[in-house]
Structure 1
C-alpha cells in the first residue's frame, strides 16, 4: 500500500495505491473515486467501515475526509504502537491492528471507552485531521500539556496523564472535554490545528 496526498492542508485527499489483492479499510462515505475493479465488502456491521480490495492488476482509491482539513499518512514500522484520536483514522491496511482493549488506555480512562484508540503493526495509517497537522517533538523528560480536543496521535514512547482542568466543571473521557493531557517525552505528539467539535 502506498499513500500520496494532494490538496493539503485545507482540503486533503489521500490516494491509496494497492497491489494485486491488497485491501484497505475505510468508511464508504469517504470514497471520492477508485479505479475500475476495486471491490467493496462490508465488515460485519452495516454502518461500520468497509474493506476495499484491489483486483489482480492492482488499483487505487481516493479518500476525502468528511470535514475540511489535512490528510496525514503515518508509517508504522512494527516497533512502536500509537494512540490515535478515535475519529481520526481515514484508512488502514490489514497489516495495522486496532488493539482493543489496550491496557494503558484502560488505566487512563478507567472502565469507559475514551477519546483514543491504539494501533500497531506495519504499514500506513492515514489520518483525517481538522486543519493542518503540527508536531510537538519532546526530549526525554520534557513535559507539555495538550488539550485533548486537539490531539491527533502519539507513540508508546511517551508517558501520559489525564487530569481535570477544573474539578467543579463537567468532564468527559469520551471526548476529552474539560480535561488536560500531560505528555512526557521522548516522542512526537501530533496535533490537529482545529479542535474536534
Structure 2
C-alpha cells in the first residue's frame, strides 16, 4: 500500500494505491471515489465502536487499484509510517484509513495504565505500513531528544511512538475532567521520539 495526498493541509484527500488483492479498512462515508472493481464488505464483528461509524473493508481487484478517502471535516491528512517494531498511540478520532498490515491493539497495557478502566482519548496501533490519519489542522511535530520534555493539550495531540514516555495529569484537580475527550487534562512527554500534533483544537473544530 502506498499513499498520495492532495489539497493539504486545509481539505486533505488521501489516495491509497493498492496491490492486487490488497485490502484496507475505513468508514464508508469517507470514500470519495475508487477505481472500478474495488469491492466493499462489512468489517465484521467489532466494526462498530462507541461513537464511531461502522467500518468497511475495501479490496483491490486482481490487477490492483486505487481509492480516494476524504475526512468528513476540513483539515490535513497524514500517512503515519508504522513499523520498525515500534507501535504508536493515536487519538481515537484520527484514523482515516488502516491497512490490513497494521493492527488496532485493544487493551494495550500502557494505555490501560494511563486511563485505568475508562475508555480514553487514545488508541494503540502496531504492525507495518502507512496508517492514514485525519487532523483538523496542519500536522506539526516536536522532535524530542533524550530526556527533553514537552507538555501537550489533548485537544491538539495526534500521535506519539512507544519510545516516548508520557504522563497524564489534571490542569486543575478541582475542575471538570474527561478521560475520553481530554478536557481539563495535559500530557507530559519525555524523549527521545516524535510527538505529532495538529494546529487546530479538535473539540472546537468539531472533529
Please classify the TM superposition score into its range, dividing by the shorter chain length: over 0.9
Q: Check conservation: 1:78, 1:120, Cα contact below 8 A.
A: no
Alpha-carbon distance between aligned partners in 1 of 2:31 and 2:168, rounded to the nearest angstrom:
35
User: Pick from 178, 182, 185: which aligns with 1:179?
Assistant: 185
Which ranges of structure 2 fall in alignment gaps of 5 or more residues? none
Q: Which runs of 4+ in 1 moved over 6 A?
A: none
- CA-CA distance at 1:86 after TM superposition: 0.1
Q: Check conservation: 1:81, 1:118, Cα contact below 8 A.
A: yes
Alpha-carbon distance between aligned partners in 2 of 1:85 and 1:146, rounded to the nearest angstrom:
13
Alpha-carbon distance between aligned partners in 1 of 2:42 and 2:60, rounded to the nearest angstrom:
15
In the alignment, structure 1 residue 24 sits paired with structure 2 residue 24 = yes
User: What residue is the counterpart of 1:72 in the other structure?
Assistant: 78
Alpha-carbon distance between aligned partners in 2 of 1:67 and 1:131, rounded to the nearest angstrom:
10
In the alignment, structure 1 residue 53 sits paired with structure 2 residue 59 = yes
User: What residue is the counterpart of 1:157 in the other structure?
Assistant: 163
TM-score where L is the length of structure 1: 0.98
Which ranges of structure 1 fall in alignment gaps of 5 or more residues? none
In the alignment, structure 1 residue 87 sits paired with structure 2 residue 93 = yes
User: What residue is the counterpart of 1:102 in the other structure?
Assistant: 108
TM-score where L is the length of structure 2: 0.93
- CA-CA distance at 1:68 after TM superposition: 0.4
Q: What's the secondary structure of 1:71's corresponding residue?
A: strand
Q: Check conservation: 1:157, 1:185, Cα contact below 8 A.
A: yes
RMSD over aligned Cα, in angstroms? 0.9
